Amino acid sequence: MHAITVEDKQLVLSEVPDPEAGDGEVVIDVTAAGVNRADVSQRQGLYPPPPGAPPYPGLECAGVISAVGPGVTDRHVGERVSALLSGGGYAEKVAVPAGQLLPVPAGLSLTEAAALPEVACTVWSNVVDRDRLRKGRTLLVHGGGSGIGTFAIQLGKALGASVIATARAGKHEALRALGADLVIDYTTEDFVSATRDFNGKGADVILDIVGAKYLSRNIDALAPDGRLTVIGMQGGRKAELDLGQLMAKRGSVSSTSLRARPPADKARIVAAVTRDVWPLVEAGAIKPVINGTMPLAQAAEAHALMESSDHLGKILLTP
Ligand SMILES: NC(=O)c1ccc[n+]([C@@H]2O[C@H](COP(=O)([O-])OP(=O)(O)OC[C@H]3O[C@@H](n4cnc5c(N)ncnc54)[C@H](OP(=O)(O)O)[C@@H]3O)[C@@H](O)[C@H]2O)c1
């Protein structure tokens, strides 16, 4: 089969052996795969695949099952699925544990379904499972125009929360159309005062992709008893934490990585997303936001676009 391999930090379309379905796995013939910021870090040599994962980039896909491994009794060849992967999505075929398969939500094409698994599982596991966002609370999403951000805005609104997002000005109109109640241009405005002015107390939940550069200001922007979860380090990994500042708000700070979670944990998240989030997608309350689709052979161009940050939502690759 063809897959994208990483050679000297470049993405190359290569001929590689077909994957086989191991115990508890299926093989998917990939219709489309999502591009994620983590794939850029992997290409740059900063984020190696975890042990046992396919060496090729790609954390999500959708397609059709073409082989079923030993021990898998509830899946069949020809079934249309989407999947949360530990790697290997940039390929014509990928093997994945059956517990990481999701159905294709009714009303979506296979290509559209490829835009959802990584963002849905990441956002749900942090904002809902961990940080208990619900009706009446306020969510602040940094990077509102990212794949993660466009999903988080819609999920927050679907849950009945108020949603604030940060993004460059050119993305504001699109983020308001997704439901954001307030959009802040982080290049010219102070998101701390804008967030406090919005509801008089700050954000109950903050989903942050910036990391070190925003740690102190994020705590300033938290409401009493607020929860900050850091899932990205685009603004650095080391910062000083003022425990007094955090304690005064009874705040909490946490951080997670979806890719590093054990398979059983991923299967739990995938099952919960299928149960709680897919109905919102099928009802039209959450739509995949797709910037564009490119052939697999243009993976390098897709990474260049992602690094420019000029995209909105997801970039997809089609083998
Ligand atoms: N920990 C996990 O499990 C996990 C899982 C998935 C993703 N992530 C992380 O989530 C982030 C988003 O991933 P993605 O694939 O959705 O990325 P993406 O689509 O490439 O989006 C990244 C966005 O970051 C925005 N940005 C850059 N600096 C910013 C700042 N100072 N304030 C606000 N926004 C800023 C850019 O938007 P503008 O044009 O508005 O600047 C850009 O659109 C990445 O950091 C990724 O590593 C973590």
Residues 112-131 have a mean pLDDT of: 98
Q: What is the overall mean pLDDT for the chain?
A: 98
Q: Which atom of ligand 1 is nearest to the CA of 38?
A: 47
| Percent of the chain with pLDDT strictly greater than 90 | 99
CATH architecture designation of domain 2-116+259-318 = Alpha-Beta Complex (3.90)
Cα–Cα distances (Å) from 88 to 27, 124, 161, 311, in that order, read 11, 23, 35, 23
Mutate to test the pocket of ligand 1, among 306, 309, 311 (most ligand atoms within 8 A of CB): 309
* Neighbouring residues of 156: CB distance < 8 A, sequence distance ≥ 6: 127, 133, 139, 141, 162, 163, 179
238 — pLDDT class (breaks 50, 70, 90): very high
When pLDDT is cut at 50, 70 and 90, the band that residue 186 belongs to is very high
Q: What is the CATH number of domain 120-255?
A: 3.40.50.720
User: What is the pLDDT, as a whole number, of residue 188?
Assistant: 98
Give the span between the Cα atoms of 107 and 112, in whole angstroms: 10
Ligand 1 pocket (Cβ < 6 Å) reads: 36-38, 118, 122, 142-143, 145-148, 166-168, 171, 186, 209-210, 231-232, 234-235, 256-258, 306, 309
What's the pTM value of the predicted model, to 2 decimals?
0.98
Residue nearest to atom 35 of ligand 1 (CA): 143
Where in the chain are the domains? 2-116+259-318, 120-255
pLDDT digits (tens, 9 = 90+) for 36-50: 999 999 999 999 999
CA of 232 to the centre of ligand 1 (A): 7
Question: 182-184 and 162-166: which strand pairing?
Answer: parallel
